[in-house]
Structure 1
Amino acid sequence: MNKIKITILKYAVVLFVAAILAGCNKELTVIEKQAYEAPKFFNPVVKPSLFNSSVLRTWDGWFYAYGSEENWVGAGGNRLMPVMKSADMVTWTYQRNIFNARPSWSTGAMTSPDVVEIERRYYVYYSFASASSTSPKPSIALATSVTPMGPFVEREDMEDMGTKPGNLFDTDSVDTPNPRHPFFFQEENGDKYLFYTSNVAGDVKSAVYCLPLSASGQRIPDFTSMKKVASADFDGVLIQKKDNFYYLFGTRVNGNSSTIIVGRSANLLGPYVDKTGGDLMVGTNGTIFAEANALFSSPGHNSKIFTDKSKEDWIMFHVIDSRDPKFTNNLDKKPLVLARIVWNNGWPELVSDYLTEKELIGPNFY
């Protein structure tokens, strides 16, 4: 490098350092972080319908809600189990369906999807075939995806399942009638379980059952390890762990309406009892968690409980809104409501204001 270039370079460095030093004499502009304001909303928050649904919060903070197959008449047509997305549990947008096309190995409706995250992969356990179907036999099915939105596909390792690549088990596998409404639960030590409802009127084998899953979550290693945990009085259950108890939430159908019942146990497999000590193996037992009011009827199939940064707990479940109860084909709409809960002597209770027409304050996740 010649002397002229070296001189120019030195001069540029001097000017650069001088500029930095001059800037240091200026007052710093402090940008204050705005406090996050929890969103305001009116119930229901997920429309037009998302019945027998599940809600997942992924590792990156997004919420996803998944509903049963349903014909959104006048609002998009038939959905092969719709997927909704939200950043705050208040504002939800439709994304796509769980499946690109209906799986061909069975017929009937695809209902009660429970989507879970296992080692950054996403599994959907769901019911396939109508409740009264005997041919094909009602199945608990499984599909996987690399993203929470899907599309979900049949399991890659299920070549040995032959013509039923998505069939995890059916009535032949478990010898219980009409297996439906799967719910996945994982213990802190990694052990995985699948709960399901078996319910046919008059069948003595009808009940809520639990089966241990393989480490991958994709197989049932031993069908003889099946355990009965509650009566057949429940149309789907969910287990929530809090402190030293497991809480079993179940949907109890009462004619054209339903209620959400809760019991608890010190052990995952029970016995589950209500506030009075009544065993949930008996159909009339259970503490009422959510019931119909003048505005919202048929509460059912609640989500897991999510805790926000203010240490408040939130839950979602479907209802029938008396202001907009049906599609044009006269089938019920079952949108999701969002509600806050509190704990009273170790029992979850709904904050009643959330099942009204009032404007409400939502969760604070930021």
Structure 2
Amino acid sequence: MPEDDSGVNRRNVLKSIGIGALGSTLAVAGSGSVSATTDDSTHYHNALYGPHFPDPTIHRAGDGTWWSYGTNMNRNSDSDELLVPILRSDNLHEWTYVGEAFDSRPGWTYGSIWAPDIHYYDGEWVMFYSLSPRPWESGEFGIGLAKSDTPDGPFTDYGQIIGDNDHASGGSIDGYFVDYNGTPYLFWGSFQGIYLVELTSDLQDWKPGTLQQVAGDAYEGSTVFYRNGYWYLFVATGTCCNGYSSTYEVEVGRSTNFFGPYTDVSGTDMMNYNSDNAGIAQLTSNGRFVAPAHGDITTDDNGQDWFVYHAYDRTGPEYVDGVPARQFFIDRVEWTDDDWPVIAGDKTPSLQSVEPNTNDSGILADGIYEIQNVNSGKVMEVADASTSDGANVRQWTANDCTCQRWWVEYIGGGEYRIVNENSNRALDVPDGTTTDGASLQQWPWFTGAAQKWNIIDNGDGTYRIENVATGDVAEVYNAGTADGDDVVQWPWNGGDQQRWNFNFIGGVQPLWDGRPW
């Protein structure tokens, strides 16, 4: 159910927001500015660097510092183009510009350097980069190699590793290096298939006969990540460079075998996707941040994984000197019990989140609960066990109906989604209205802030349920004690009608239709 921007209470909307900060239409440009109100000492705010730092790659040095490298391409002119800009950070969320990776352009094709991929390998910093001829020049697309003793360069160029003339596939850009059991490999490709090839030991060439395709024509911008017995292939799909009209997003496949096949969460082989945006998005646009994709993964001191990527900010410039203004973002990667990634809590860029290297866990374990009102002793249910969109939420004497059971799931930053087990629909403030006394309803999960809830410990064993969009809490209307009394939102006043017990029923997650992965 879409939210009405004009009704959002911006004094409270970001009060406790972390991962997945904004819903799908909460911060549309032109509807008024949204500013964070949380403590800056514990939260960071996207975008982290701009107005131009697309295709970021990241690696952590032995001294604990993070280094990120990006594109600064202008295919129409090289007058102000940077030769791979470098950022440095001690904490993953505060970044300083260091300089350029190259002192001069690689000479094998005079063109734009883009989509760098950085790793520390065999005692050196190695960078694979894409090089494309300018529109008025001859030459081939390809991937080159450069090395440096230090992360800030300068990097020495070793020339082209693979190019479009080396094979019939084309799309020879966007490399991603992996050391697999001591053997070097390179993933690469751009909308003509994603490929995998073994490299020579010095990384300066590829071995004929080892080339294989692992994903279809829908993708570019590969990132490969190993976790818990699976190899994950993060890929970008859609259009990257059409400003706010761009459709870029991230899709993910995984395999227990490094060489594939890589299948997505639906079980579909990634080889079968040949149309943009045809698969299941694991990171996509919301109302403020557009076209998030083409990134990399790193891990902080607490073992928390983070995805760095680029996106547009509708409150910022769409273009800078004619170049799309794709800025630098970071969001945490959570993992489901069956080992699928969930980026930024609701799979859209967050405006703000809890800083890296800090612990962020919910006060309630994920599971199925009866939610019991302290004043009346009755439990929250969907009226008449309805499965309809917009059905009313009320209180009733507990009777073991699945309409009285709720899947409570932590999505980060202090926020939860609360989904009815019977209907597979989420607890919702309709249209994100800030009206005191507005009845709560159920609607399919759409990642909006009106469906996100802060569950707050009252200090007496009870909890209040605060809506992220409105700042109001769930209560039984007029402190009623009768079956059928409405559950509404109201400003917190400490009354028992606003206090709830969460009675744990079980920990098995229902496979509800609205599940976002």
The amino acid across from 1:61 in the alignment is G
Within a 5 Å distance, the mapping from 1:112-191 to structure 2 comes to 112-130=115-133, 135-155=138-158, 166-187=159-180, 189-191=181-183
Per-residue deviation, residues 20-79 of structure 1 (Å, max 9, x unmatched): xxxxxxxxxxxxxxxxx97531111122221112111122211111011336xxxx9421
The amino acid across from 1:355 in the alignment is P
Q: How many Å apart are 1:118 and its aligned residue?
A: 0.8
1:295 and 2:288 equivalent? yes
| Conserved? CA contact 1:263–1:287, under 8 Å | no
Give the whole-Å Cα distance in 1 for the aligned partners of 2:41 and 2:122. Answer: 31
The amino acid across from 2:307 in the alignment is I
Within a 5 Å distance, the mapping from 1:305-324 to structure 2 comes to 306-324=298-316
Q: 1:338 aligns with which of 330, 334, 345?
A: 330
The amino acid across from 2:224 in the alignment is I
SS of residue in 2 equivalent to 1:224: coil
1:226 and 2:211 equivalent? yes
Q: Cα gap change, 1:365/1:81 in structure 2, threshold over 3 Å: closer, same or farther?
A: farther
Q: 2:55 aligns with which of 41, 52, 60?
A: 52
Q: Considering only aligned residues, what root-mean-square deviation do their CA atoms show, in Å?
A: 2.4
Aligned position for 1:8 = none
Give the whole-Å Cα distance in 1 for the aligned partners of 2:344 and 2:72. Answer: 30
Give the whole-Å Cα distance in 1 for the aligned partners of 2:296 and 2:258. Answer: 18
Q: Please report the TM-score for the alignment, with normalisation by the length of structure 1.
A: 0.78
Aligned position for 1:246 = 231
Give the whole-Å Cα distance in 1 for the aligned partners of 2:93 and 2:46. Answer: 9
Per-residue deviation, residues 270-320 of structure 1 (Å, max 9, x unmatched): 10111111110011564311001001111111212x332333221111101
| Conserved? CA contact 2:284–2:349, under 8 Å | no
| Conserved? CA contact 1:131–1:138, under 8 Å | no
Q: 2:351 aligns with which of 345, 357, 365?
A: 357
Aligned position for 1:236 = 221
SS of residue in 1 equivalent to 2:174: strand
Report which stretch shifted further, 133-142 or 339-348. Answer: 133-142
Give the whole-Å Cα distance in 1 for the aligned partners of 2:270 and 2:199. Answer: 24
Q: 2:253 aligns with which of 263, 280, 286?
A: 263
Give the whole-Å Cα distance in 2 for the aligned partners of 1:256 and 1:327. Answer: 12
Give the whole-Å Cα distance in 1 for the aligned partners of 2:262 and 2:317. Answer: 34
Aligned position for 1:24 = none
Show structure 1 runs of 5+ residues with no match: 1-36, 156-165, 200-205
SS of residue in 2 equivalent to 1:142: strand
The amino acid across from 1:266 in the alignment is T
Aligned position for 1:280 = 270
Aligned position for 1:110 = 113
| Conserved? CA contact 2:88–2:96, under 8 Å | yes
The amino acid across from 2:349 in the alignment is L
SS of residue in 2 equivalent to 1:352: coil
Q: How many Å apart are 1:328 and its aligned residue?
A: 4.0
Give the whole-Å Cα distance in 2 for the aligned partners of 1:84 and 1:276. Answer: 37
Give the whole-Å Cα distance in 2 for the aligned partners of 1:147 and 1:101. Answer: 17
Give the whole-Å Cα distance in 2 for the aligned partners of 1:192 and 1:356. Answer: 35
Q: Cα gap change, 1:178/1:356 in structure 2, threshold over 3 Å: closer, same or farther?
A: closer
| Conserved? CA contact 2:110–2:134, under 8 Å | no
Give the whole-Å Cα distance in 2 for the aligned partners of 1:278 and 1:309. Answer: 34
Give the whole-Å Cα distance in 2 for the aligned partners of 1:87 and 1:50. Answer: 19
Q: Cα gap change, 1:207/1:356 in structure 2, threshold over 3 Å: closer, same or farther?
A: closer
How many residues were matched structurally? 306
Give the whole-Å Cα distance in 2 for the aligned partners of 1:282 and 1:93. Answer: 41
Aligned position for 1:195 = 187
Q: How many Å apart are 1:170 and its aligned residue?
A: 1.4
Show structure 2 runs of 5+ residues with no match: 1-39, 240-244, 360-517
| Conserved? CA contact 1:173–1:223, under 8 Å | no
Q: Cα gap change, 1:61/1:236 in structure 2, threshold over 3 Å: closer, same or farther?
A: same
Q: Please report the TM-score for the alignment, with normalisation by the length of structure 2.
A: 0.56
Give the whole-Å Cα distance in 1 for the aligned partners of 2:66 and 2:47. Answer: 16
Q: How many Å apart are 1:133 and its aligned residue?
A: 8.1
Q: Cα gap change, 1:328/1:51 in structure 2, threshold over 3 Å: closer, same or farther?
A: closer
Report which stretch shifted further, 231-240 or 132-141. Answer: 132-141
The amino acid across from 1:246 in the alignment is W
Aligned position for 2:428 = none
| Conserved? CA contact 1:38–1:361, under 8 Å | no
Report which stretch shifted further, 177-186 or 349-358. Answer: 349-358
| Conserved? CA contact 1:262–1:289, under 8 Å | yes
Within a 5 Å distance, the mapping from 1:10-21 to structure 2 comes to none
| Conserved? CA contact 1:207–1:230, under 8 Å | yes
Q: How many Å apart are 1:132 and its aligned residue?
A: 6.8
| Conserved? CA contact 2:69–2:116, under 8 Å | yes
Give the whole-Å Cα distance in 1 for the aligned partners of 2:267 and 2:320. Answer: 45
Aligned position for 1:160 = none
